[in-house]
Chains A and B, each alone.
Chain A
Amino acid sequence: MKDVHQIVRGQKFQDRCFAVVGFLCTLVGLIVLSILIIDLVRDGWSRLDYQFLTSFPSRRAGNAGILVAWLGSIMVAIVTAFTAVPLGIAAAIYLEEYARKNLLTSLVEINITNLAGVPSIIYGLMSLGLFVYILGLGRNVFVGGLTLGFLILPIIIVATREAIRSVPNGIREAAYALGATKWQVIWHHILPCSVNGIATGTIIALSRALGESAPLIVVGALVFNTVLPPSPIQNEFPYVNAKWANSEFSVLPIQVFNWVSRPQEAFHRNAAAASIVLIFITLTLNGLAMFIRYRFRKRVQW
């Protein structure tokens, strides 16, 4: 008969073996992420200077820069935020606070789940067919931003719904008991209570939009653009304008794609440098979201 201690030791050994394997597997992703960042920095760091950030694209790699690209990214992100965030939060409020359990509601819910799984490039095709050709809006910042807005709408809805759901019912009941109307309860209590969760989801969604290039390529963002959009600030009343929304554009990921696919080595270094900027933006936004989530979890105790 086998010694019991021996069996137990064997079993514990198995456990320890798997713990090591599991830990290594967990590290694979993190190691790859670090290698990716190190590789980018090694290839592109020397290109990353003031001149690179403030120059137009050029046929000569040494003179080329990402001015148009990052301006385009910011403009598109503004349009995306202004369409997707209000729409997404409103839809989430409806689904959590108003919607009755009926066919329409479940249809909307299933639909949102499905939209979240639709490949991004399909949104580009939709915009190309609908906005560019049927409605004739042109291939401009507005259409690009709207496309990405639709793309991130499900992410914002899901995140907002989760945030609203985590507000305890006691808050609602207390407000109703003091005679507040439904909208007053939502506006004064539920939204302020869930603002952290909503912010986290919104930031993550926007970082996704900033890194997205496929749908914008389909819509027809220009890769070689040497014209700046018109300034949003003007001298006459009302001092700001939205003409920039009607201009042609390029964004950072598309600029990277363009440089990656060129044969010359020098352009690859440009691509690496632009990737550093891009990855810095998205990782910073994700870090910010994590920070908000962490603080929120620590401070609020219902």
Chain B
Amino acid sequence: MSVDLNQLRVKISEHRAKKRGRNFSAASEQVIELGLLGAALSSIAITLGIVFILCWESIGFFKEVSVVEFFTDTQWTPLFAPPHYGILPLLTGTLMTTFVALCVALPIGTITAIYLSEFASSWVREIVKPLLELLSAVPTVVYGYFALYLVAPLLQKLIPDLPASCMLTAGVVMGIMIIPYVSSLSEDAMRAVPMLLREGAYALGANRIRTALTVVFPAAISGIGAAYILGLSRAIGETMIVAIAGGMQPKLSVNPADPAMTVTAYIVQVSQGDLPHGSIGYKTIFAAGLTLFVMTLFFNVIGHYLKKRYREAY
């Protein structure tokens, strides 16, 4: 009997040791979870960092320049005397290059998406889709080279007395760069449209193109909209192509054949020089950056809601 009791005691102490081990592992599990939570929260910290820095330096800028002047003055010459701080020329530059880019990317991207989703056989799609994605893998500075030394001379042959670097050149090349953004997401949206809708259209005697344009396209419209907006926001934020081939002249103009400067190109131009920290010139890049950030945020939020809608649709 006493032997059994001893054995029992041993067993109990073993069990306790095990339990302690499990407690330890439960504790380390919690440490791990906290660590992972920290990693997830780091993304919020980055956003806060961006917003804080942009606002902080912009507040310094707007103490010296009135908001009204910033948005109404038609000249942007912050580094010359007399300085003018009107963001409008940079905004028109950004919007015009983006417009040209969308004129290239939206038709080509949409037709590509319709072709790949409704017409192409699966092996064509399997090969073409990843190859198209390579277009967005090419570094943008290489696109800049391409724009300046190949596309610009070609366009100059087509349109006489076009300057070598202008919004048209930069916009066209930027448009080619964002084709995969537009086509890939649009195609996903169209392929998510249930087969039943297509079969209904075929049963009514519609051919493929008619089905694609009148049934599939409208059904996928919010996903396609999200794709368009993704392309738009890429084009607004694109930097190197416009810095190399956009002309680098802050002019208030809506003529794509004019050289211009975008918000991003201005930031690059100033960063190449050596502006002292705290000077008004240094602060301008943050005010410009804040404008850019707000613009892309606006479009991203719209895109986000469109995408959510297309996910919920079926």
Indicate whether B209 reaches chain A with its CB closer than 8 angstroms: yes
A15–B208 touching, CB < 8 Å: yes
Determine the interface band of chain B, counting residues with CB < 8 A from chain A. Answer: 35 or more
Q: How far is the CA of A286 from the CA of B136 in the complex (A)?
A: 10
Indicate whether B115 reaches chain A with its CB closer than 8 angstroms: yes
The secondary structure that dominates the B interface is helix
**How many residues of A are counted as interface, with CB atoms below 8 angstroms from the partner's CB atoms?**
89
Q: How far is the CA of A125 from the CA of B264 in the complex (A)?
A: 11
User: With A25-B112, A26-B115 in contact, do A87 and B139 touch (Cβ < 8 Å)?
Assistant: no
A107–B44 touching, CB < 8 Å: yes
Which residues of chain B are within 8 angstroms of A126 by Cβ–Cβ distance?
Answer: 46, 49-50, 53-54
Indicate whether A145 reaches chain B with its CB closer than 8 angstroms: no
Indicate whether B289 reaches chain A with its CB closer than 8 angstroms: yes
User: With A94-B36, A121-B267 in contact, do A28 and B54 touch (Cβ < 8 Å)?
Assistant: no
B176–A279 touching, CB < 8 Å: no
B37–A98 touching, CB < 8 Å: yes
Q: Which residue of B lies closest to A38 (CB)?
A: B150
B267–A218 touching, CB < 8 Å: yes
Q: How far is the CA of A29 from the CA of B105 in the complex (A)?
A: 10
User: With A118-B50, A118-B237, A279-B139 in contact, do A218 and B29 touch (Cβ < 8 Å)?
Assistant: no
A130–B49 touching, CB < 8 Å: yes
B44–A111 touching, CB < 8 Å: yes
Which residues of chain B are within 8 angstroms of A128 by Cβ–Cβ distance?
Answer: 271
Question: Which chain B residues numbered 250 to 289 have a C-beta less than 8 Å away from chain A?
Answer: 264, 267-268, 271-272, 277, 285-286, 289
Indicate whether A36 reaches chain B with its CB closer than 8 angstroms: yes
Which residues of chain B are within 8 angstroms of A120 by Cβ–Cβ distance?
Answer: 237, 239
Question: How many interface contacts (CB-CB < 8 Å) are there between A and B?
Answer: 270
Indicate whether A193 reaches chain B with its CB closer than 8 angstroms: no
Q: Which residue of A lies closest to B180 (CB)?
A: A29
Indicate whether A266 reaches chain B with its CB closer than 8 angstroms: no
Q: Which residue of B lies closest to A42 (CB)?
A: B150
A122–B42 touching, CB < 8 Å: no
Question: Which chain A residues numbered 146 to 190 have a C-beta less than 8 Å away from chain B?
Answer: 150, 153-154, 157, 181-183
A91–B36 touching, CB < 8 Å: yes
Q: Which residue of A lies closest to B300 (CB)?
A: A117
User: With A11-B207, A117-B296 in contact, do A33 and B267 touch (Cβ < 8 Å)?
Assistant: no
A121–B264 touching, CB < 8 Å: yes
The secondary structure that dominates the A interface is helix
B43–A112 touching, CB < 8 Å: yes
Indicate whether A275 reaches chain B with its CB closer than 8 angstroms: yes
Indicate whether A78 reaches chain B with its CB closer than 8 angstroms: no
Which of A204, A213, A278 has the most B CB atoms < 10 Å from its CB?
A213
Which residues of chain B are within 8 angstroms of A122 by Cβ–Cβ distance?
Answer: 50, 54, 237, 289, 292-293
B29–A183 touching, CB < 8 Å: yes
Question: Which chain A residues numbered 101 to 141 have a C-beta less than 8 Å away from chain B?
Answer: 107-108, 110-115, 117-126, 128-130, 133-134
B36–A115 touching, CB < 8 Å: no
Q: How far is the CA of A272 from the CA of B260 in the complex (A)?
A: 25
Q: How far is the CA of A115 from the CA of B116 in the complex (A)?
A: 29
The digit string for B112-149, where 1 denotes a CB below 8 A from any CB of A, is 10111001100000001011111101111111111011
B138–A94 touching, CB < 8 Å: no
A87–B303 touching, CB < 8 Å: no
Interface residues of A (CB under 8 A from B): 11-12, 14-15, 18-19, 21-23, 25-26, 28-30, 32-33, 35-36, 39-40, 43, 86-88, 90-91, 93-95, 98-99, 107-108, 110-115, 117-126, 128-130, 133-134, 150, 153-154, 157, 181-183, 204, 207-208, 210-214, 217-218, 220, 223, 253-254, 256-257, 260-261, 268, 271-272, 275, 278-279, 282-283, 286, 290
A selection of 29 A-B contacts at a CB cut-off of 8 Å is A12-B207, A15-B208, A22-B115, A26-B112, A28-B108, A29-B132, A33-B131, A36-B150, A91-B40, A91-B43, A108-B44, A113-B300, A117-B233, A117-B300, A118-B50, A119-B239, A119-B264, A125-B50, A126-B49, A134-B53, A153-B43, A181-B29, A211-B139, A213-B140, A257-B240, A279-B142, A283-B137, A286-B134, A286-B137
Besides A121-B268, A133-B277, A261-B244, 17 other A-B contacts (C-beta < 8 A): A15-B119, A18-B114, A18-B115, A19-B119, A25-B108, A90-B36, A98-B33, A111-B44, A119-B237, A120-B237, A210-B139, A213-B141, A214-B140, A253-B141, A256-B145, A260-B141, A260-B145
